[in-house]
Amino acid sequence: MSSPVLSEAREYAKHGISIEGLEAFIAGLEGTLTAETTTSTVCHSLIKPATAPAGWVDVAELILRDGEGNDIRDRCWFRHSYREEATGRVQDAPPPGTRSYCELLLADPATAHQVGAPTVFFSHAWLFKFKNVAAALGAFVDGLPPGSPPQFFWFDCFSIDEHATQAKPQEFWGSTFREAIALIGHTLMLLSPWDQPFPLTRAWCLWELHCTCVEGAQLSVCLGPSER
């Protein structure tokens, strides 16, 4: 009989996106994404609005300054509010019915094949440039031996409902999250820049590495095109 932690981990690690899905996502945003667009900006200003429930608009606002007046726009932090289209009412809490981008793809028969059970847990920094991230994942897939099974990446901003992540209790990250990494069994980390990898300076990425080691999962690394 499954424990509550294991059951929740299976739900959390249920969906992965394919390279085809990432490439289609980028192609659909031609003229919107630039070489400098970060994963954080993609998640907050594109994915979250796309996954708000019908009748609601997710309004993403880039935070320009911190409480002391310092310019922090380069950190790509956003605040969100939700506007009900029928009434114009605005609230801070996400309304019922939000979903992940993978669930959005699964709801359409034309794109459902771009989602599958994750074969790789992808560890990265949200300040990475999104197009470089996608290229690095594409290169990883291209470098696999012939005949390798299709790869589906547990890529947080696509795989989970990002509207709901702030509601997770602290205990979740120490138990369920670690169990999810164990269930997937393979962690891929994007080490960029190659000579001073940014993820190795981030506490969250180090936690993902710790979980990978403790659970005995496979660890691989990838690089962007120019860094290779």
pLDDT tens readout for residues 17-30: 999 999 999 999 99
* pLDDT value for 4: 83
- Phi, psi torsion values for 214, nearest 5 degrees: -60, -40
Q: What is the mean predicted confidence (pLDDT) over 178-201? A: 95
Residue 197 has pLDDT above 60, yes or no: yes
**Cβ contacts of residue 48 below 8 Å, gap of 6+?**
58, 60, 80, 162, 163
> pLDDT-derived band of residue 167, with 50, 70 and 90 as boundaries?
low
Q: What residues does each domain of the chain span? A: 4-38+98-222
pLDDT on residue 1: 43
Which pLDDT tens digit goes with each residue over 114-163?
999 999 999 999 999 999 999 999 999 999 999 999 999 999 999 999 99
Q: How confident is the model at residue 175 (pLDDT cuts 50, 70, 90)?
A: confident
Query: For 94-115, what is each residue's pLDDT tens digit?
Result: 999 999 999 999 999 999 999 9
User: pLDDT value at position 228?
Assistant: 85
Closest C-alpha among 120, 157, 114 to residue 136: 120
Collect contacts of 20-27 with beta carbons under 8 A, ≥24 apart.
20/113, 20/114, 21/105, 21/111, 21/114, 21/115, 21/158, 22/134, 22/137, 22/138, 22/153, 22/155, 22/158, 23/134, 23/138, 24/111, 24/114, 25/101, 26/130, 26/131, 26/134
Q: For 52-100, what is each residue's pLDDT tens digit? A: 999 999 999 999 999 999 999 999 999 999 999 999 999 999 999 999 9
The arithmetic mean of pLDDT across residues 171-191, rounded, is 91
pLDDT of 2 above 70: no
Q: Could you tell me what percent of the chain has a pLDDT over 70?
A: 98
pLDDT of residue 71: 96
Spell out the residues 6+ positions from residue 141 whose beta carbon is closer than 8 angstroms to its own: 19, 151
